[in-house]
Structure 1
Amino acid sequence: MNLDFKIKNLLLICLIFLGVFNQYYAQSDHHTEFKTGADQPELYLPLLKGKTIGVVTNQTGLMKDRSHVVDFLVKNGIKIQSIFAPEHGFRGDADAGEKVKNGVDVKTGIPIVSLYANNKKPNPEQLKGIDIVVFDIQDVGVRFYTYISTLSYLMEAGAENRVEVLVLDRPNPHDGYTDGPVLKKKWSSFVGLHEVPVVYGLTIGEYGNMVNGEKWLKNGVQAKYTVIPMKNYHKKQRYPISDKPSPNLPNDQSINLYPSLCFFEGTQVSVGRGTDLPFQIYGSPWTTGLPYQFTPKPNFGAKDPFLNGKLCYGENLSTYKTNLRELNLEWVINAYKNYKNPQTDFFLKNLWFDTLSGTDELRKQIIAGKSVSEIKASWKPGLEMFEKTRKKYVMYEN
């Protein structure tokens, strides 16, 4: 009986301890809960009440409960005059570079204005009557991914038309490190407006702050610009993203490999558009020495893929284990060395490779047979200079 009583007492003490521990754990867990800018409406709804707004967003503008930020704003009585859609459209189903059409969102009846093709910057007519434009897009933190250019043009238009820009910040899957050649001014384009490296290590909210602070907008204008920061975000942690940022970046692996593989878009080599593994494989009909085989065919993300219907030989990186914290140049160099086609050069004649690189040096270095370490050493001075600028705009700790 006495032993029974002791065991009961011991059990009771264990249960009390477990309860206290659980309560503490729940509190500490709550304390470190991560939230995007969109998931903190208490910070931005007061700024939007009674205002007429525009929203730049796409399929990634989701909240924790998977509802779209546009639907959430409408539900909370915020007056949205227009939805501005970037590359790939509002619902995110247009191919890369495909013309995104203006239209009306079926769900809300709000007019959609394309910010792609010939209208990359909202014009005064499109901004007329708007007080604030809310920007909420999942970016991937790479210079040639066009959403930072869309933000920059929006800020420029905002500054010129006295319209405020409010960014709901989201994670950058390539945050916490910088790499690649720094863009040279003469190579400036929609896939690289500013003198920054390929991987620049800032969230989209921080990037906008840098563009504003460094007066990189046309004529040095500055936008009225506010960032709703994320809560408990750390630059070196990898966060799951709300939805695929574009049709050909379907998963974390494609995003992981994207900064390194996108250079192939300036060559005669496919990166797997028109297959089930876009940005996870590469190959061409003229690299027959490589082991993996695939044939690009039209699909949801690529209506007319590069090398459509041609058997390609390359490499499958879909099971590549490394979480990349730097550019891997070995794949491009490997393909270059294996490329045998007397008819056409490895690099496209339109020099798209240089446009993506932001310089013609990388192409020349590959042709000259420079090693990866030699090429990377040549990037160092530019990266060190950029780091001084970048440091001023970092809002989150590593």
Structure 2
Amino acid sequence: MPKVATGLDVLLKDVDLQKRFKGNIALLCHNASIAYDYSHAALRFKELFGSRFIKIFGPQHGFATDVQDNMIESNHFIHPHFNIPVYSLYSETRTPTDEMLENIDHFFIDLQDVGCRMYTYIYTLTLLLEKCAGKDIDIIVLDRPNPINGIDLEGNILEHEFKSFIGFHPLPVRHGLTLGEVALLHQKMWTRSKANLQVIPMKNWQREMYFEDTKLPWVLPSPNLSRPESTLTFPGAVLFEGTMLSEGRGTTQPLEIVGHPKIEPFGLFADYLEETIKNSGLNGLALRPITFLPTFQKHSDKVCGGFQIHITDKKIFKPWRTGQFLLRELYKHLGSEFEWKAPPYEYNYDHKPIDIINGSDKLRHWVEQNESLEMLDSFEALHEFEKIAKEIRLY
């Protein structure tokens, strides 16, 4: 199977395509915006466009992808090497201002998404599209792989009441789209005024691919997704951000491990969880009891007991369903020691973080009422979403 060429790679190798962009250039990018030769997109843009490359923009976690958590903003600055402004779209604003957009003719987006609704880069993109509707600015998405494949859908559809910057559109948790396809779906379904949008597709990417299949190098797109394996556990492990259990931030394997200071890991497994998960119908995973010490965030410098989620068969592993199951079981196991995290979360001060994360309060009620796994499946809604998504698929 040939190596995938990202949208950036396609642009870099197509001189005729490069010649179409004759005006001033801006680039929204981050740490993972690299070419086939590991060079950063900003360096290559400087080579291609010279003095016409006038502005850089960064999403959540910053242009350098060095900012850890939600509600920690990045500053604007003048880049010391490129000597051009770097604007943060996770700052006092999530939407570029008119001043930021001045003198831009072509605005490129090169971001590595992770295929999950609770990941903010797709909303940075769609807010940019909204802002540029009616403006004489070309928006060009340099497409990249969905690392957890472009076929499988999972989870509930976002309910409008729980809309936030980690859930802005009626998407399922695992949406099966690339960044470029999200942009196309936005223009088709979620906006009244369209932008001048172009997507530069990848070459050789197939929908059934996981990131490892692309033969591309993995560079972390946010500080806590250092391995491509983490993107597949993320849609389930991210639920624990809505609780006072640690999801492994402050360790070397965040969003693959879960724990709490009151859990004795071997007792949890031997007495309870091992048999329960065997009877759950969940497949494609193994849970391994561990002890870990977060160095920051929840339970910093406190020994936690818990487990690591190992994926044994990614084709049948259901991350969101696994996450909801584990959340329910740990709610029962910890009893009075279990706590839902309190607001605010992602600038929402009204709803519990778990409800914002899941885009619904149904999961929280389901956990508290100890209902069966089947209660949260929404196959009909996923089927309807799939029909819409097929109309804009590029691959």
TM range (shorter): 0.7 to 0.9
Which runs of structure 2 are paired with 1:326-337 in the superposition (5 Å)? Answer: 326=318, 327=320, 328=322, 329-337=324-332
Question: Which amino acid in the other structure matches residue 392 of structure 2?
Answer: Y
Which runs of structure 2 are paired with 1:190-339 in the superposition (5 Å)? Answer: 190-214=165-189, 216-217=190-191, 220-238=192-210, 239=214, 240-288=216-264, 289-290=267-268, 291-298=289-296, 305-317=297-309, 319-323=310-314, 325-326=317-318, 327=320, 328=322, 329-339=324-334
Which of the residues 43, 57, 69 maps onto 1:84?
57
Q: 2:38, 2:80 → 1: CA distance? A: 18
Instruction: Say if 2:7 is the partner of 1:37.
Output: yes
C-alpha contact 1:54 1:134 (8 A) present in aligned 2? yes
SS at match of 2:127: helix
Q: 2:134, 2:49 → 1: CA distance? A: 28
1:373 maps to which residue? 374
2:346 maps to which residue? none
Question: Which amino acid in the other structure matches residue 330 of structure 1?
Answer: F
C-alpha contact 1:183 1:195 (8 A) present in aligned 2? yes
Which runs of structure 2 are paired with 1:117-136 in the superposition (5 Å)? Answer: 117-136=91-110
- Distance apart, 1:160 and its partner CA: 4.5
Q: 1:229, 1:176 → 2: CA distance? A: 17
Which of the residues 61, 71, 81 maps onto 2:43?
71
Cα RMSD, aligned residues only: 1.7
C-alpha contact 2:117 2:175 (8 A) present in aligned 1? yes
Instruction: Evaluate the alpha carbon distance shift between residue 185 and residue 44 of structure 1 in structure 2; reply closer, same or farther with a 3 A threshold.
Output: farther
Q: 1:160, 1:286 → 2: CA distance? A: 55
Instruction: Say if 2:341 is the partner of 1:340.
Output: no
Which of the residues 132, 139, 144 maps onto 1:170?
144
Q: 2:365, 2:154 → 1: CA distance? A: 19
The superposition leaves residues 339-378 of structure 1 with CA deviations (integer Å, 9 ceiling, x where unpaired) of: 1335xx53223311111111111111111111223322xx
1:26 maps to which residue? none
- Distance apart, 1:86 and its partner CA: 0.6
Instruction: Evaluate the alpha carbon distance shift between residue 307 and residue 249 of structure 1 in structure 2; reply closer, same or farther with a 3 A threshold.
Output: same
TM-score of the aligned structures, taking structure 1 as reference length: 0.84
- Distance apart, 1:245 and its partner CA: 0.9
- Distance apart, 1:122 and its partner CA: 0.3
2:286 maps to which residue? none
How many residues are aligned here?
351
- Distance apart, 1:56 and its partner CA: 0.4
C-alpha contact 2:62 2:88 (8 A) present in aligned 1? yes
| Residue segments in structure 1 that go unaligned for 5+ positions in a row | 1-28, 299-304
Farther-moved stretch of structure 1 (382-391 vs 331-340): 331-340
Instruction: Say if 2:111 is the partner of 1:137.
Output: yes
The superposition leaves residues 305-341 of structure 1 with CA deviations (integer Å, 9 ceiling, x where unpaired) of: 1121222221122x43232653223322222221133
Question: Which amino acid in the other structure matches residue 111 of structure 1?
Answer: P
- Distance apart, 1:139 and its partner CA: 0.6
SS at match of 2:153: coil
- Distance apart, 1:46 and its partner CA: 2.0
- Distance apart, 1:241 and its partner CA: 4.7
Q: 1:277, 1:47 → 2: CA distance? A: 43
- Distance apart, 1:171 and its partner CA: 0.3
Instruction: Say if 2:79 is the partner of 1:105.
Output: yes
C-alpha contact 2:26 2:107 (8 A) present in aligned 1? yes
- Distance apart, 1:161 and its partner CA: 3.2
SS at match of 1:76: helix
C-alpha contact 2:156 2:376 (8 A) present in aligned 1? no
The superposition leaves residues 255-281 of structure 1 with CA deviations (integer Å, 9 ceiling, x where unpaired) of: 120011000000111111001111111
Whichever of the two has the greater Rg, that structure is 1
SS at match of 1:47: coil
Which of the residues 3, 20, 24 maps onto 1:52?
24
Question: Which amino acid in the other structure matches residue 208 of structure 1?
Answer: A
Question: Which amino acid in the other structure matches residue 330 of structure 2?
Answer: A
C-alpha contact 2:218 2:227 (8 A) present in aligned 1? no
- Distance apart, 1:93 and its partner CA: 1.0
Question: Which amino acid in the other structure matches residue 363 of structure 2?
Answer: L
C-alpha contact 2:135 2:195 (8 A) present in aligned 1? no
Identity %: 31
Q: 2:102, 2:244 → 1: CA distance? A: 45
C-alpha contact 1:275 1:296 (8 A) present in aligned 2? yes
Question: Which amino acid in the other structure matches residue 321 of structure 1?
Answer: T
1:95 maps to which residue? 68
Which of the residues 108, 123, 127 maps onto 1:149?
123
- Distance apart, 1:61 and its partner CA: 0.9
TM-score of the aligned structures, taking structure 2 as reference length: 0.85
Q: 2:312, 2:328 → 1: CA distance? A: 20
